[in-house]
């Protein structure tokens, strides 16, 4: 791949007029709306553009502070983005540190940092271009400052690990020593980004920047935050979705130890504020509350299931992928294979429950919270505060788990501000109980899927109809993102092209969606819809292969000749797992492959099922091609972690509904995998170059169908409803 040459001008990169102390700060990215405004200005207007905060700050002691707009929630984005900047900057990695800017500051400075949202595996692949460019610009300005100080040509200077060297004389100077002079220079008109073959830091398994603080306990999460004079709040909302508070008796708990206030929060919740959180929770547990459960009181899992069943056969549906005439082709098929699958509601179940700390006065509102989207949190805070957004700000904190829950929805921020508003000038930390977190989430959407495939007399799949019936996340979260009423997110892993392209070529294909939206709120959940879609598609591919009397790998290969990158990862896992060799006694294998978030991923699982129906997942071989691999060690950790999350969902994840409320309350009835249940995971990172794919979400999708296909190989039983805790896996049962 050739080097990238990037045009850079004063209008595209704004330089801070002064350093921090004697240091150097550089604004690396100017979004389109600001670029356009500056480009149309006169030189006098340009000079008047306010100073922007920097992405990169170089201090006199050579410390490099890289400001990260994206959120760190355990996935390693913070370290990966810093690697991208440091690669082009040519600084000393051992002197790199990071910090978060605030979304309020971002707005005030013309959105210099771009997006503060972290989801959809966009943390690195959505940022790599402009942060690399910024590192390159900073490098060139620092070298130019040294060259001017020595009165030598720039071409005679080089840099490594933050030390600039004049090659003919051997003179050296550090970045910190020339930072102030560099701050006075104009940025170069062009910068050339490194060719990937010349990368020294990108592609290396460097240690994460946040590990030490986590190990020593210095890392502060939202639940840990303490502010002077802070009070603590516990909250309870109406169990039924859409219900309201009818009345409560504050007098019954007002005299309890530490209690400072009992307040209504919005229309549907009550909070107790006390000196300590346990005092607040204890008082809340004793508080008599009467609820108006509203119109959803009769909604149940059974009624929702019936609604989805109707959608499976409905005449009207929204088309996500269509090629040829699948319905007509199915009528001509020599053999029809049909199966119906169902996937339940699931909770994010982050280890750190929802929380936020708010300080409100009539002049200003500030919030400290773990969030995947600082801008969305800021908007929620401003709306709840009743103040102009310019008088509000949000301070991001590392997340104790996100998985999508802390992205689009900031109900916990709204609640914290509404509580703090009733105690002006006093910081209040709101921390949900696990039960509140379990019963008031925004859940992985519930869907069912009927798949109908047509085989010819030679066992070739020539026609396929995939009907999905169930919820649309976008209809609930952001209808403006829909295309002519179609939620394309529903079809992840099944689309005709793009980041979520189907991995197979079928002559006549129809994938459609009967949208049915029960009143249980859906939300983005790690991997989103590719989780169930991969199960539907990959398990059905095994069913088709079995019906055709073919090996599952060979059957897939015949349909994947137009999808070479997906085929490559599938072949890799099959080879490493020994697909063509006999498995050890009692061990059975299953495969799965998909493309999601622009990455190509595959898995081969090895399982056993004993005579009592007890499942043991022994090993999963995984392969991922994300295009470029910034930090292979982090990718391996992400794959392993995604399998914990995906297999927990497969084994145990289910939220059931009664009287319009989630029945599960804690980890006793919504468990996660135990360490003893975790299989050995072997990860192959196969970056083929030329594109930037996601890491955190794609691989979660292939673990479950690979295990399910291995279960069929072990027992002859197809499992089509989940979780497995509800299924008798004994052969012949």
Please write the tens of the pLDDT for every residue from 5-25.
544 433 333 323 222 233 555
Distances (CA, A) of 597 to 493, 540, 693: 9, 22, 6
**Residue appearing with tokens 């991997």:** 527
Q: Would the pLDDT of 52 be above 50?
A: no
- Band (pLDDT 50/70/90 cuts) for residue 557 is very high
289: in domain: no
Question: How do residues 694-707 score in pLDDT, each as one tens digit?
Answer: 998 999 999 999 99
Distance CA 120, CA 106 (A): 22
- Band (pLDDT 50/70/90 cuts) for residue 590 is very high
214: in domain: no
Domain-ending residue, one of 183, 201, 219: 201
Which pair of tokens denotes residue 700?
Answer: 């979660």
Domain count, the chain: 3
Residues 80 and 167 in one domain: yes
Question: How do residues 66-125 score in pLDDT, each as one tens digit?
Answer: 888 899 999 999 999 999 999 999 999 999 999 898 999 889 878 877 788 989 888 899
Evaluate whether 584 touches 551 at the Cβ level (below 8 Å).
no
CATH of the domain at 181: 3.30.365.10
Distance CA 266, CA 263 (A): 10
Q: Would the pLDDT of 632 be above 80?
A: yes
pLDDT at 3: 54
Q: Would the pLDDT of 409 be above 80?
A: yes
Most confident of 34-43, 77-86, 657-666: 657-666
**Residue appearing with tokens 């500056």:** 38
Average pLDDT, the chain: 91
**Residue appearing with tokens 């003893």:** 676
Distance CA 626, CA 628 (A): 6
Q: Would the pLDDT of 51 be above 90?
A: no
- What percent of the chain lies above the pLDDT cut of 70? 92
User: Would the CA dihedral through 489, 491, 496, 502 be positive or negative?
Assistant: positive
pLDDT at 4: 56
Residues 423 and 509 in one domain: no
41: in domain: yes
Q: Would the pLDDT of 32 be above 60?
A: no
Residues 396 and 455 in one domain: no
Nearest to 433 by CA among 552, 269, 296: 269
- CA 33, chain centre distance (Å): 26
Nearest to 394 by CA among 417, 416, 374: 374
256: in domain: no
582: in domain: yes
Question: How do residues 280-314 score in pLDDT, each as one tens digit?
Answer: 999 999 999 999 999 999 999 999 999 999 999 99
Grouping H, G, I as helix, E, B as strand and the rest as coil, residue 697 is coil
270: in domain: no
Evaluate whether 220 touches 398 at the Cβ level (below 8 Å).
yes
Which pair of tokens denotes residue 381?
Answer: 């805070």
Q: Would the pLDDT of 682 be above 90?
A: yes
Tell me how crowded residue 582 is: count the other CB atoms within 10 A of its CB: 7
Parallel, antiparallel, or unpaired for β 508-515 and 461-470? parallel
Q: Would the pLDDT of 42 be above 90?
A: no
244: in domain: no
pLDDT at 36: 30
Residues 530 and 673 in one domain: yes
Q: Would the pLDDT of 603 be above 50?
A: yes
Distances (CA, A) of 699 to 346, 615, 660: 18, 22, 33
26: in domain: yes
* DSSP labels, 112-146: TT---B--TT-TTTTTHHHHHHHHHHHHHHHHHHH
Residues 699 and 719 in one domain: yes
Domain-ending residue, one of 175, 201, 227: 201
Q: Would the pLDDT of 39 be above 60?
A: no
Domain-ending residue, one of 139, 173, 201: 201
The domain containing residue 625 runs over which residues? 301-346+443-726
Distance CA 4, CA 191 (A): 8
Overall average pLDDT of the 224-253 stretch: 98
Residues 423 and 541 in one domain: no
Residues 394 and 522 in one domain: no
Residues 376 and 497 in one domain: no
Distances (CA, A) of 662 to 404, 443, 520, 666: 19, 10, 9, 11
**Residue appearing with tokens 């957004």:** 389
pLDDT at 187: 83
pTM of the predicted model as reported, rounded to 2 decimal places:
0.92
Residues 679 and 534 in one domain: yes
pLDDT at 733: 74
Nearest to 25 by CA among 180, 178, 163, 161: 180
Q: Would the pLDDT of 488 be above 70?
A: yes
Residues 450 and 375 in one domain: no
Lowest mean pLDDT among 67-81, 353-367, 629-643: 67-81
> Which DSSP letter does residue 669 get?
T
Evaluate whether 293 touches 299 at the Cβ level (below 8 Å).
no
Residues 317 and 447 in one domain: yes
- Band (pLDDT 50/70/90 cuts) for residue 41 is very low
Tell me how crowded residue 592 is: count the other CB atoms within 10 A of its CB: 32
Residues 517 and 399 in one domain: no
Distance CA 397, CA 354 (A): 12
pLDDT at 452: 98
């Amino acid at each position: 791949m050739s080097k990238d040459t990037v045009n850079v001008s004063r209008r595209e990169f704004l330089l801070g007029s002064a350093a921090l102390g004697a240091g150097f700060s550089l604004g690396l990215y100017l979004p389109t709306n600001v670029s356009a405004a500056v480009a149309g200005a006169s030189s006098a207007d340009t000079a008047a553009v306010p100073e922007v905060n920097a992405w990169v700050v170089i201090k006199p002691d050579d410390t490099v502070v890289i400001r990260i707009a994206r959120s760190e929630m355990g996935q390693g984005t913070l370290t990966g983005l810093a690697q991208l900047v440091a690669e082009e900057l040519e600084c000393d990695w051992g002197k790199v540190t990071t910090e978060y800017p605030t979304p309020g500051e971002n707005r005030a400075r013309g959105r210099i940092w771009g997006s503060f949202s972290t989801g959809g595996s966009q943390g690195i692949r959505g940022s790599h271009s402009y942060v690399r460019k910024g590192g390159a610009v900073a490098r060139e300005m620092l070298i130019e400052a040294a060259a001017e100080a020595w009165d030598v040509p720039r071409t005679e200077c080089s840099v490594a690990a933050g030390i600039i060297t004049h090659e003919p004389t051997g003179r050296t100077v550090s970045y910190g020593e020339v930072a102030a002079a560099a701050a006075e220079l104009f940025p170069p008109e062009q910068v050339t980004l490194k060719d990937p073959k010349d990368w020294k830091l990108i592609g290396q398994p460097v240690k994460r920047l946040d590990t030490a603080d986590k190990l020593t306990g210095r890392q502060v999460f939202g639940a840990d935050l303490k502010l002077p004079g802070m009070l603590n709040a516990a909250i309870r909302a109406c169990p039924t979705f859409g219900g309201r508070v009818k009345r409560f008796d504050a007098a019954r708990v007002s005299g309890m130890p530490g209690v400072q206030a009992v307040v209504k929060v919005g229309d549907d919740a009550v909070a107790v504020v006390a000196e300590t959180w346990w005092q607040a929770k204890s008082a809340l547990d004793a508080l008599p509350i009467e609820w108006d459960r509203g119109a959803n009181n009769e909604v149940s899992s059974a009624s929702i299931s019936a609604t989805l069943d109707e959608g499976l056969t409905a005449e009207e549906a929204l088309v996500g992928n269509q090629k040829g005439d699948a319905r007509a082709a199915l009528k001509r098929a020599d053999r029809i294979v049909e199966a119906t699958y169902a996937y339940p509601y699931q909770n994010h179940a982050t280890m750190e429950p929802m929380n936020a700390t708010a300080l409100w006065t009539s002049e200003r509102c500030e919030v400290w919270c773990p969030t995947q989207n600082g801008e969305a949190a800021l908007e929620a805070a401003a709306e709840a505060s009743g103040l102009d957004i310019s008088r509000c700000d949000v301070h991001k904190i590392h997340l104790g788990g996100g998985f999508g829950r802390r992205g689009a929805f900031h109900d916990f921020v709204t609640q914290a501000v509404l509580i703090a508003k009733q105690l002006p000038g006093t910081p209040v930390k709101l921390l949900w109980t696990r039960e509140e977190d379990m019963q008031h989430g925004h859940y992985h959407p519930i869907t069912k899927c009927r798949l109908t495939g047509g085989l010819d007399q030679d066992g070739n799949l020539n026609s396929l109809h995939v009907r999905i019936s169930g919820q649309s996340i976008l209809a609930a979260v952001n209808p403006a993102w829909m295309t002519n009423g179609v939620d394309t997110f529903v079809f992840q892993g099944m689309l005709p092209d793009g980041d979520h392209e189907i991995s197979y070529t079928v002559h006549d294909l129809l994938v459609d969606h009967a949208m049915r939206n029960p009143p249980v709120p859906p939300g983005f959940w790690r991997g989103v819809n590719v989780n169930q879609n991969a199960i539907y598609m990959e398990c059905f591919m095994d069913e088709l292969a079995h019906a055709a009397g073919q090996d599952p790998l060979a059957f897939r290969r015949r349909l994947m000749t137009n999808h070479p990158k997906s085929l490559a990862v599938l072949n890799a896992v099959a080879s490493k797992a020994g697909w063509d060799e006999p498995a050890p006694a009692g061990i059975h294998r299953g495969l799965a492959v998909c493309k999601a978030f622009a990455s190509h991923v595959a898995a081969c699982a090895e399982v056993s099922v004993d005579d009592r129906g007890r499942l043991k997942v022994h090993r999963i071989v995984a392969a991922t091609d994300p295009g470029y691999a910034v930090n292979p060690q982090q990718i391996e950790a992400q794959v392993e972690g995604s399998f914990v999350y995906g297999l927990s969902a497969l084994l145990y994840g289910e939220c059931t509904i009664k009287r319009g409320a989630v029945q599960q309350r804690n980890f006793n009835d919504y468990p996660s995998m135990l360490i003893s249940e975790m299989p050995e995971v072997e990860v192959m990172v196969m970056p083929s170059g030329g594109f930037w794919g996601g890491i955190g979400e794609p691989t979660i999708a292939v673990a479950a169908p690979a295990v399910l296909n291995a279960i069929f190989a072990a027992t002859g039983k197809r499992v089509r409803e989940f979780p497995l805790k509800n299924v008798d896996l004994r052969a012949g049962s």
